[in-house]
Structure 1
Amino acid sequence: MTTRWLTPQEQRAWRAFMAATHLLEDTIDRQLQQDAGMPHLYYSILVHLSEAPERRLRMTDLAERVKITRSRLTYAVARLERDGLVRREGCASDRRGSLALLTEEGMAVLEQAAPGHVEAVRGAVFDQLDEEQVAQLEAICSRIAGGLQGDEGVGCASGDLPWRRRSTPCK
């Protein structure tokens, strides 16, 4: 098999992408640590729970939404649970499953942290782009994510992703 080396333009684009993603993650993490005392991952967990019906999600579904392994999610939720921001409960329809539930205290912390987070995201990303570039960013990122998740018929097979597995939905 012959290696398909990156062209000079692809190499520049790749390096710019990597620099931007690393700098952005660092910026968002520092802002959330300073303002809310939590890393971006924990904030993302709270956001996804806040958007879910009854502020609860099956742990496997939450892992998929946050795009992390189930073991990493278990560790993060345990920490959030110790802080009183999340509670875990069993799944009535599947004894092996469990749900994560955003507590009232967790919702209050999220509501307090959200304005600073939005300002950091706006300043780091959207204030740097015009409307057309925002649309392009969405299209490009959606295409890359779709390919990596197997949505485009390329990339990882859905079973290869660590957060995916077939399970009985909780009711």
Structure 2
Amino acid sequence: MADATTIQPLNQDEEAFLRALGRVLAYLPRVVDADMVSEQPITSGEYMVLVHLSEAPQNRMRMSELANACGLSLSGMTRVVKRLETQSLVLREKCPDDGRAWLAVLTSSGWTCLKQAWPTNLASVRRHIFSRLEGCDVAAAARVLERIAAGD
């Protein structure tokens, strides 16, 4: 880490970007979640768990990998999966090659819920995100966000 005397303060554009990013990080989950729960039996976070499981081989993932993919702690993911289990959308089973690990598995009811929730989620992200990005290079923005998320 650099010495505090050698660190350059943020310039006006950097400060504006950082503050706007903070507001977006607080705003987006709240509004997308509100849209989801107003029309669906699941939250936007639960929806993303179902999405990741739907894209995984055999619709199953180790709980730790699923937590990482969703940006949650393992205990946070366990709470989400337990809620989804009570709705029969996901089930947990022991990992066959590692008795200490658990897998989250998308059920047929989970698939049905995911398909029903997709239009609500799509409309929400189009309204709250992509409608505001006209004229922007979305692919370049995605690359920048991926570099930030990689944390290297």
Matched positions, count: 148
Paired residues for 1:18-33 under 5 Å: 18-33=22-37
The answer for the alignment partner of 2:60 in structure 1 is: 56
The answer for the alignment partner of 1:80 in structure 2 is: 84
> What is the aligned-residue identity percentage?
34
Q: TM-score, normalised by structure 1?
A: 0.81
**More divergent stretch after superposition (13-22 vs 111-120):** 13-22
RMSD of aligned Cα (Å): 1.4
1:142 equivalent in alignment to 2:152: no
Q: Which residue, out of 98, 106, 111, partners 1:94?
A: 98
2: CA distance, partners of 1:116 / 1:51: 19
The answer for the alignment partner of 1:105 in structure 2 is: 109
**CA offsets 1:73-129 (integer angstroms, 9 cap, x no match):** 111111111111101111111110111101111111110000110111111111221
Report deviation, 1:70: 0.6
The answer for the alignment partner of 2:15 in structure 1 is: 11
1: CA distance, partners of 2:22 / 2:88: 35
Question: In the alignment, residue 47 of structure 1 is paired with which amino acid?
Answer: V
Question: In the alignment, residue 35 of structure 1 is paired with which amino acid?
Answer: E
Question: In the alignment, residue 60 of structure 2 is paired with which amino acid?
Answer: R
Q: Which runs of 4+ in 1 moved over 6 A?
A: none
The answer for the alignment partner of 1:34 in structure 2 is: 38
Q: TM-score, normalised by structure 2?
A: 0.90
Question: In the alignment, residue 32 of structure 2 is paired with which amino acid?
Answer: I
Q: Which runs of 5+ in 2 are unaligned?
A: none
Q: Which runs of 5+ in 1 are unaligned?
A: 151-171
1: CA distance, partners of 2:31 / 2:145: 19
Question: In the alignment, residue 37 of structure 1 is paired with which amino acid?
Answer: P
Report deviation, 1:52: 0.9
The answer on whether the counterparts of 2:44 and 2:121 sit within 8 Å (CA) in structure 1 is no
**CA offsets 1:10-61 (integer angstroms, 9 cap, x no match):** 1111111111222211111101111113222111111100111111111111
The answer for the alignment partner of 1:125 in structure 2 is: 129
2: CA distance, partners of 1:26 / 1:133: 25
Question: Secondary structure of 2:30's partner?
Answer: helix
